[in-house]
Structure 1
Amino acid sequence: MPRRVSLPTADDLFRTTGDGTPASQSPAPQRVRAVPDEPEPPAGRRPSGRVRHDEKMTVYVTSEELLDLEHTRLALRREHGLAVDRGRLVREAVALVLAEFEEQGETSALVRRLREA
């Protein structure tokens, strides 16, 4: 016997919220960091953490770079008890590099490495 799923009606989807605005036009919820009490990166730059991300960027890496990323992810889990996915690992690394660039500018590791390439 097949079960029927009850879907919300249009009235449910477009009902007004407590402040009188339609539910479909209510502001997006505030983003909250999933892991509090982490040391803050320099210059106040913080990675977004575990939130729904609205933007997407595709980055191509070599198989060696992907293996290095995966090894780092597994080492974080094994040695530090941090279960993070590759996306979070990359966002954390980007936040650190950009914060250091904002703080040190010309002498940052990012500028030095890009000049060497």
Structure 2
Amino acid sequence: MPRRVTLPTADDLFRPTVVPDPVEDDTRAGADRAAPLREPEPHEPEPAAKGTGSGRVKHDEKMTVYITSDELLEIEHARLMLRRAHGLGVDRGRLVRAAVAIALADLEANGEDSVLVQRLSDRAAG
């Protein structure tokens, strides 16, 4: 029986990233203006330290990555394990950003001996 993979809905893919700015006075009524969905608050923390991922913040950049069905299932399995066993409710994006941050920190700290270099060297050789 084939595995079932759930993909995002059109609403998730094409959700608005800006909302209209409230009209400040009558003279500007009808002006076509837009403001970012969420402005950073002054009390928000600085960007995350290396190796921790960015967490729950507004992200301005987007990168598309293609993965296999098995890789997607592994990510979903990890996300559910984090929720059930560790009480961490994270989405796939946050999980992937944290994993990338960990891999990049390991690369910077360990260079040739990093897990990333070893794994990519194994794949290139095989």
Aligned position for 2:58: 52
* 2:102 aligned partner: 96
Structure 1 segments (4+ residues) deviating >4 Å? none
Residue-pair matches, total? 89
Alpha-carbon distance, 1:11 to partner = 4.3
Q: Name the one with the larger strand percent.
A: 2
Question: Which runs of 5 or more residues in structure 1 are unaligned?
Answer: 1-6, 15-23, 34-39
| 1:101 and 1:109 in contact (8 A); partners too | yes
Deviations 1:44-81 (A, max 9, x none): 40311101100000000000000000000001000000
Indicate how the Cα distance of structure 1 residues 105 and 11 shifts in structure 2: closer, same or farther if over 3 A, else same.
farther
Q: Which residue of 1 aligns with 2:23?
A: 9
Q: How far is the alpha carbon of 1:9 from its aligned partner?
A: 2.3
Q: Does 1:115 align with 2:118?
A: no
CA offsets, 1:81-106, max 9 Å, x none?
Answer: 00000000000000000000000001
82 and 108 in structure 1: CA distance in 2 versus 1, 3 angstrom threshold: same
Q: What SS does the corresponding residue of 2:89 show, helix, strand or coil? A: coil
Percent of aligned pairs sharing the same letter: 58
CA RMSD of aligned residues (A): 2.6
Q: Report the counterpart of residue 67 of structure 1 in structure 2.
A: 73
Q: Is the 8 A contact 1:31 1:51 kept in 2?
A: no
2:84: which partner in 1? 78
TM-score (norm 2): 0.62
The residue identity in structure 1 corresponding to 2:54 is: S
Q: Does the alignment pair 1:32 with 2:44?
A: yes
